[in-house]
Structure 1
């Protein structure tokens, strides 16, 4: 590794060509992402951002490193203008270019971070307790919002499936009309000419 400044500059360059994908189905894998995006751009690396707090079926996030900055911009533009769904889920994927404020930066030389247990008599103990309670409250709120979002997506999936089944039945009916010569009979009855293939 180089100096902290070189590491930081390398990170900034990498982030310019990395895309943050949000709202991915839990079934999406790195291979699925590479295959889906590989149709448009050259994918170098896919990293999923783990969620340790919520249930396993919540939407996932991923960082996708591409070959160039131009490719990163083009894929974000495509995903912004057109709904991009993966693994057949009714969950449009959101995309944006990453920036340095989204991540921890490389450690600067001379920086020393220490952790310790807080004593109840410590003046900061009450502040830490309030922050802990607030974090728990936010966690519950986020979980309930995600649960609601998943329920809505399940309804949308059911609706899409019903529409697909209805369309399939229509095409089957049209196909059966053409196959059993009913169309020819109807055309002759109404004085219409059938166009030969």
Structure 2
């Protein structure tokens, strides 16, 4: 009994040293997380939580640090500054982890489990049905929100690509004007410096 209590106490310490990250880009890897956080704390482990709704949806991760004090610092920092991914900001959320987030958590030796079967005539049966329906509704809403978020991100990426192409076209046009012989003749006439063209 003593060893299971010690194991659970060690696990609770691990939970206190862990930060939960949400809304991470699907392209984020363990090395990206380590690189981003190593400047603030020593990262002991990174564990991505599987997303069963789809591979292109935002990721979540549990990142264990070397101290529980640094968890508060990281959470505060992420709340104030956007998480950068390939030079692009992303609104990542961070908060201290809780025991229920770990699928490999040991059994609490002091827990007491109570259960009972519900009969169809039981008043709690209606509550259980409502909770089941509410869970399905929330799952559908989350899937729809993720779809909208991906559409917004794709739209933003397309806008940024179009802006980049426009800037490139402008610079190319300006460069073409400067190398044009008529522009050089006009510059000489008005004593303007156009470079070594």
TM-score, normalized by the shorter chain, greater than 0.5? yes
CA displacement at 1:113 relative to structure 2? 3.0
1:124 alignment partner in structure 2: 124
Residue 141 (structure 2) pairs with residue 134 (structure 1)? no
- Please show how residues 10-159 of structure 1 align to structure 2 within 5 Å: 10-38=10-38, 41-52=41-52, 54-69=53-68, 71-87=70-86, 92-100=90-98, 103=101, 107-113=107-113, 118-159=118-159
CA distance in 2, matches of 1:73, 1:141: 31
CA deviation string 1:94-116 (max 9, x = no partner):
24241447646753324343667
The number of residue pairs the alignment matches comes to: 191
Q: Distance in 1 between matches of 2:167 and 2:193?
A: 27
Q: Does structure 1 retain, via aligned residues, the 8 Å contact 2:45–2:63?
A: yes
Q: Which runs of 5+ in 1 are unaligned?
A: none
**Alpha carbons of structure 1 residues 7 and 117: separation in structure 2 relative to 1, 3 Å:** same
TM-score if structure 1 supplies the norm length?
A: 0.71
- Residue 41 of structure 1: how far off its partner (Å): 4.5
Give the corresponding residue for 1:192.
192
Give the alignment's TM-score, normalised by structure 2: 0.71
Where do 5+ consecutive residues of structure 2 fail to align?
none
Q: Would the aligned equivalents of 2:83 and 2:91 in 1 still touch at CA under 8 Å?
A: yes
